[in-house]
Amino acid sequence: MTPKQTLLRGRVLDFSAEPQDPEDTGAYDYIEDGALLVADGMILAKGSYGELARQAPQAEVIDHRPHILMAGFIDTHLHFPQVQVTASWGSQLLDWLNNYTFPEETRFADGAHSAEMAGHFMDLLTAHGTTTAVAYCSVHKASAEAYFDAAAARDMRMIGGKVMMDRNAPDGLLDTPVSGYDDSKALIARYHGRGRGMYAITPRFAITSTPAQLEMAGALVQEHPECYVQTHLSENHDEIAYTAELYPQARDYLDVYQSNGLLTEKMLLGHSIHLQPREIDALAETGAKPVFCPTSNLFLGSGLFDDAGLRDRGITNAIATDIGAGTSYSMLQTLNEGYKILQLQNQKLHPLRAFHWITRGNAQALGLEDKIGTLEAGTEADIVVLDARATPAMDLRMQRAETLSEELFVLQMLGDDRAIAQTYVAGKPMKPVS
């Protein structure tokens, strides 16, 4: 039986390379009356509406004009158990963890609570146009099971892992080097590569892991090179100083991970703000990926991420919301705040590069650009529909917008979940139609 075909009609924008400047039209395809032919969770074809309508006359047409069809957004660093402490009165990193995050995460020992929160979490992501995310679960195996089960129920390509942490946290949030290894190993066997799920080995950060635990995490990386690795690096000066006290033999913060065999091209290092020259050299040599988290960096007063400096060294930077120290699930609002942080350093984030970053760019950071982040035929049908006139303020501004770049910048600076007209995950609409 031939799978049902759907033809999504609208203005199609798809990146094939990172735009170098506003005039770099060779980096993307823009089809004014375009369409995507979708079936069985995959994109079969991209082209003009007239051409694809003739090619697939039996396809159901869903007309999203005048909106833009783009690859679904990808969020590369966020914390699933923090959904109910987002927007808690702020302090700096270590106080915030102790006052809000750790007490909240103890609740995720309860499988029913984890399942309920996982459902809300996935729904919030898709409501904001995010179709793939890389998330930290709590230390409890049940939280990771709930996370992956909720993703599988929606057929979402999600990456995640239970945090490994065996010190400097409440008793209800501690595992051991052995239990952290065993639980992670079991979760990898159950979820990595099943459907669209992918596992990330997740030592939370140096402060909450003993040397023995990081050695066990390194063993997991050696045994499972197909998995991602995620942790935190150099977010806050106090954090860096405390790490130096705990690991006096390390050359620097990054060396704590590097000496345990954790640095690979599949490693995602949240924040990476206050880096030493040797650390930057090591990132460039190993291909590990810093992750820019602008809204949380501003919320916690952590510092300014040097995107241009790292890029000049050939390092691939990802970008992310960092819910719950981050204050919005929206990758559009993440671009908004990222633009401002870069402005403070005389660095520019043009809207064409910005939208490449949260689609194909983050897919490249994950090594998944052959599956997600583009609208090419043969890739997974994760698609977002963008409405640049979603609010009165946006509509008023759009009356004076004359170019595609201007429209994208309106979305980048003024957009949020209201600008997401629809989100398709594996070809299925996720937002209720009003």
Rounded-to-integer distance, Cα 363 and Cα 71, Å: 10
Rounded-to-integer distance, Cα 317 and Cα 314, Å: 9
CB 360 within 8 A of CB 369: yes
Tell me which H or E stretch contains 238: helix 237-246
Name residue 206's amino acid. A
CB 8 within 8 A of CB 31: no
Which residues, given as ranges, of the chain have pLDDT below 70? Answer: 1-2, 90, 92-94, 96, 98, 434
Predicted pLDDT at 89: 74
Predicted pLDDT at 212: 98
Predicted pLDDT at 94: 64
Rounded-to-integer distance, Cα 289 and Cα 365, Å: 7
Rounded-to-integer distance, Cα 239 and Cα 230, Å: 17
Rounded-to-integer distance, Cα 232 and Cα 207, Å: 10
Instruction: Decide: helix, strand or coil at residue 363.
Output: helix
Rounded-to-integer distance, Cα 301 and Cα 299, Å: 6
Predicted pLDDT at 244: 98
Instruction: Give residue-wise pLDDT tens across range 75-125.
Output: 999 999 988 777 777 676 667 676 777 878 888 999 999 999 999 999 999
- The residue behind tokens 């009609």 is 9
Q: Angle at which helices 211-223 and 177-191 pack, to 10 degrees?
A: 20
Instruction: Decide: helix, strand or coil at residue 329.
Output: coil
| Chain Cα centroid distance, residue 167 | 27
Beta bridge partners of 69: 12, 385
What is the radius of gyration, based on Cα positions, of the chain?
21
Rounded-to-integer distance, Cα 382 and Cα 218, Å: 33
Rounded-to-integer distance, Cα 10 and Cα 63, Å: 6
Instruction: Give residue-wise pLDDT tens across range 275-297.
Output: 999 999 999 999 999 999 999 99
Cis status, amide bond into 81, omega within 30 of 0: no
Do strands 428-429 and 420-425 pair parallel, antiparallel, or not at all (unpaired)?
Answer: antiparallel
Predicted pLDDT at 99: 75
> What global pTM score does this model have?
0.97
- In the chain, the largest separation of any two C-alpha atoms, in whole Å, equals 68
Instruction: Decide: helix, strand or coil at residue 326.
Output: coil
